[in-house]
């Protein structure tokens, strides 16, 4: 570390009086402050030490959360971004630090989460020499970033970070990675202040709205008899919840959500008819293949939503509202494409439609709802045997939180159950790994979610498999006191895989039997209050204790070993072939 003088003495020759000389590292932190960043998740290492050194003096302005693994750091930043609506920020060192970010980048990319990741890199003159902890981070992360860039000269930093924040947060948001070589972090340069980026020549975050298409769409809607709205995260990312609600209410059209769109309108809204997709509700899935006009708002027709594409909504005229032109016609051919930010296009559309109601059509959804209630929902929420179900936990939780909590889930059966049954009153409340389905997401994302929405109750719902993937983040909770409520729904299996093995592989349970440590001891080891619930009689009290507890709390709830999540659209089937059992 002592030989950095070679670099330090370089560009100081002419110090203009109007500017000050600062290091690249300081420039990074100044950029963060100018962008309104207050929380950074990260993990230090050799190649990012100059930035951490600079951070030492910024303690009062920037809060840094030391995670226990870079994957935890990036998932935390995702949780933070998703509850706060701001850009999440991550630090990692070169090599292994940077490669540990890859899963989170892929997750953020597919779920359009705005992130700026800063990774340290070896000295520029060592690039490409297989130097210690050197990896080609830019090429590794290219497919999983919206944009990335390697900085080798400190003078680029203010400008490149301004670009990074602009790209991450604008248009269809996404993760951006900036790799900064160590010499650039150390290098001093004349700093003329920070200027936010609002424009890049080759980048059009929002497509131009074509009015004639909006008019065309309104015509279709006005003539429809059985129209149906599908909404996704685009509504939340576009901050268009109000505009969306106005559209739904004036149009009187039933609306169903993808799991990332959940909470964009309240669960109890009379026109909210439930969840789409593989484990979605019965009615919305079946009636997708019966509606005459399908209006997709900020959703991308993922295969988990559409099932078999060649027999998906073939009878319907499709109106697709999306900010990303590449999404339109990608999976489902639209009759009328409406390019644009739905915060702008929805009010235009609302203006042009007639106020209407569809009592008979809506009644159909309710009929299906009744059947589902009878065959699935009621028995799941009110089991008659001694074995606790995931659904009854969610049911009780809804009652106790009044639909005001942020629910963060991991991936598996519990995720589907939580998303199906959670009640939400406000937007940005359902934080889950949708497109990538990343086990290990839940615990760190919940930590980040708490920093993003400190005034709200944050409850993580995690399986016994997923918690063991990133359990080390209990250490982060311990050290920084993030008041996260953790519920482990322990079915002693990798439940979702076991369900598939049961249904599609003749019950050949191949390596899905997973044992758990004593979570209560583990939690206590991290000085986190914890309790295990094995009997129904304890459940209400335990949940109440957890919710009232001041600080983090871990609750392990033993649930049925071989319960399944239904309804289900089996893979390769049409949404109309959804099974109730």
Partner 1 sequence: MLKQEYTLTVYTENQIGLLTRIAIIFSRRKINVESLNTSPSEIENIHRFNIVINETEDVVRKLCRQIEKQVEVLKAYYSSNDEIIWQELALYKVPTDQVAEKVQVERLLRQYGARAVVIRSDYTVFEATGHREETDKILEILAPYGLIEFVRSARVAIIKKSKGFHEKLQQFEQSEPGEEVIENEYLGDNAGVFSM
Ligand X SMILES: Cc1ncc(C[n+]2csc(CCOP(=O)(O)OP(=O)(O)O)c2C)c(N)n1
Written as six digits, the tokens of 486 are 């953790």
210 near partner 1 (CB under 8 A): no
At closest approach, how far in Å is the CB of 3 from ligand X?
42
Residue 459's nearest CA partner among 529, 552, 557, 558 is 552
434 near ligand X (CB under 6 A): no
Q: Which stretch binds ligand X (CB under 6 A): 205-213, 233-241, 460-468, 569-577?
A: 460-468
d(CA 400, CA 422): 12
444 near ligand X (CB under 6 A): no
d(CA 117, CA 106): 13
The helix, strand and coil proportions of the chain, stated in percent and rounded to the nearest 5, come to 40, 20, 40
Q: From partner 1, ligand X, none, which one binds at residue 491 (CB under 5 to 8 Å depending on kind)? A: ligand X
d(CA 415, CA 470): 16
Cβ closest to partner 1, residue 146 vs residue 320: 146
Contact 4, 30 (CB under 8 A): no
578 near ligand X (CB under 6 A): no
At closest approach, how far in Å is the CB of 74 from ligand X?
14
Q: From partner 1, ligand X, none, which one binds at residue 238 (CB under 5 to 8 Å depending on kind)? A: none
At closest approach, how far in Å is the CB of 366 from ligand X?
29
Residue 269's nearest CA partner among 288, 242, 289 is 242
Cβ closest to partner 1, residue 6 vs residue 309: 6
- Total number of residues binding ligand X (CB under 6 A)? 20
Cβ closest to ligand X, residue 327 vs residue 392: 392
Cβ closest to partner 1, residue 145 vs residue 288: 145
519 near ligand X (CB under 6 A): no
495 near ligand X (CB under 6 A): yes
Which phi and psi angles does 350 have, rounded to 5°? -60, -40
127 near partner 1 (CB under 8 A): yes
Q: Which stretch binds ligand X (CB under 6 A): 288-296, 404-412, 501-509, 532-540?
A: 404-412
d(CA 41, CA 96): 16
At closest approach, how far in Å is the CB of 18 from ligand X?
52
201 near partner 1 (CB under 8 A): yes
Q: From ligand X, partner 1, none, which one binds at residue 201 (CB under 5 to 8 Å depending on kind)? A: partner 1
Q: From partner 1, ligand X, none, which one binds at residue 400 (CB under 5 to 8 Å depending on kind)? A: none
Contact 146, 106 (CB under 8 A): no
375: Cα separation from own chain's centroid:
31
1 near partner 1 (CB under 8 A): yes
d(CA 492, CA 557): 11
82 near ligand X (CB under 6 A): no
463 near ligand X (CB under 6 A): yes
- Beta pairing partners, 191: 20
At closest approach, how far in Å is the CB of 4 from partner 1?
7
Contact 104, 140 (CB under 8 A): no
Helical segments of 296-412, H only: 303-306, 342-352, 359-372, 378-381, 390-401
Contact 305, 574 (CB under 8 A): no
502 near ligand X (CB under 6 A): no
Q: From ligand X, partner 1, none, which one binds at residue 142 (CB under 5 to 8 Å depending on kind)? A: partner 1
- Beta pairing partners, 487: 461, 555
CA Rg value for the chain = 25
Of 132, 503, 507, 524, the residue at the interface with partner 1 (CB under 8 A) is: 132
Going by DSSP bridges, is the β-strand pair 484-490/458-463 parallel, antiparallel, or unpaired?
parallel
Q: Which residues are catalytic?
A: 70, 132-133, 182, 496
Q: Is the dihedral of CA 122, 125, 127, 129 positive or negative?
A: negative
Residue 564's nearest CA partner among 403, 375, 358 is 375
Q: Which residues here bind ligand X, judged by CB under 6 A? A: 410-414, 437-440, 463-466, 489, 491, 493-497
Residues binding partner 1 (CB under 8 A): 1-4, 6-7, 10, 46-47, 49, 122-127, 131-132, 138-139, 142-143, 146-150, 152-153, 155-156, 159, 167, 181-183, 199-203, 324-326, 329-330
């Amino acid at each position: 570390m002592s030989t950095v003088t070679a670099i330090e003495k370089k560009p100081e020759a002419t110090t203009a009086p109007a500017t000050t000389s600062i290091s690249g590292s300081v420039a990074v932190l100044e950029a963060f402050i100018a962008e309104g960043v207050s929380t950074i998740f990260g993990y230090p290492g050799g190649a990012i030490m100059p930035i951490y050194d600079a951070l030492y003096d910024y303690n009062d302005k920037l809060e840094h959360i030391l995670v226990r693994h870079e994957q935890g750091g990036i998932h935390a930043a995702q949780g933070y971004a998703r509850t706060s609506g701001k850009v999440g920020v991550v630090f990692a060192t070169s090599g292994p630090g940077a490669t540990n970010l890859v899963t989170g980048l892929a997750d953020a990319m597919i779920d359009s989460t705005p992130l700026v990741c800063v990774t340290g890199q070896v000295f520029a003159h060592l690039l490409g020499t297989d130097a210690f902890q050197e990896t080609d981070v830019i090429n590794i992360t290219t497919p999983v970033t919206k944009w990335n860039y390697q900085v080798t000269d400190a003078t680029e930093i203010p400008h490149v970070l301004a670009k990074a924040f602009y790209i991450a947060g604008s248009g269809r948001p996404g993760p951006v990675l900036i790799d900064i070589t160590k010499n650039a972090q150390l290098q001093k340069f004349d700093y003329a202040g920070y200027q936010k980026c609002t424009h890049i020549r080759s980048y059009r975050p929002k497509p131009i709205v074509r009015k004639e298409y909006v008019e065309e769409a309104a015509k279709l809607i006005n003539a429809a008899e059985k129209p149906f709205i599908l909404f996704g995260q685009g509504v939340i990312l576009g901050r268009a919840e109000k505009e969306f609600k106005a559209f739904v209410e004036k149009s009187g059209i039933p609306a169903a959500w993808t799991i990332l769109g959940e909470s964009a309108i309240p669960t109890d809204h009379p026109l909210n008819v439930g969840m789409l997709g593989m484990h979605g509700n019965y009615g919305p899935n079946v009636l997708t293949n019966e509606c005459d006009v399908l209006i997709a708002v900020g959703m991308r027709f993922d295969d988990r939503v559409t099932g078999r594409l060649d027999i998906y909504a073939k009878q319907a005229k499709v109106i697709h509202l999306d900010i990303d032109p590449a999404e339109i016609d990608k999976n489902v051919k639209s009759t009328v494409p409406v390019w644009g930010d739905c915060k702008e296009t929805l009010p235009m559309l609302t203006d042009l439609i007639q106020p209407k109601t569809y009592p008979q059509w809506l009644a159909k959804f309710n009929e299906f709802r009744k059947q589902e209630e009878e065959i699935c929902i009621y028995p799941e929420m009110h089991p008659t045997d001694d074995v606790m179900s995931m659904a009854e936990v969610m049911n009780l939780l809804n009652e106790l939180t009044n639909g005001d909590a942020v629910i963060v889930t991991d991936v598996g059966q519990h995720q589907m159950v939580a998303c199906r049954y959670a009640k939400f009153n406000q937007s940005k409340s359902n934080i889950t790994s949708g497109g990538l389905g990343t086990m290990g997401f839940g615990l760190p994302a919940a930590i980040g979610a708490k920093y993003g929405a400190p005034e709200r109750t944050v409850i993580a719902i995690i399986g016994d498999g997923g918690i063991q993937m990133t359990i080390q983040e209990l250490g982060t909770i311990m050290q920084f006191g993030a008041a996260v409520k953790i519920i482990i729904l322990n079915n002693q299996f990798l439940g979702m895989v076991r369900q598939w093995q049961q249904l599609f592989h003749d019950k050949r349970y191949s390596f899905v039997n997973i044992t758990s440590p004593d979570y209560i001891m583990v939690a206590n080891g991290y000085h986190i209050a914890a309790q295990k619930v094995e009997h129904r009689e304890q459940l209400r009290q335990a949940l109440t204790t957890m919710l009232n507890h001041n600080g983090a709390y871990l609750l392990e709830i033993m649930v049925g070993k071989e319960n399944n999540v239904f309804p289900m659209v089996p893979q390769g089937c049409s949404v109309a072939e959804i099974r109730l059992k």
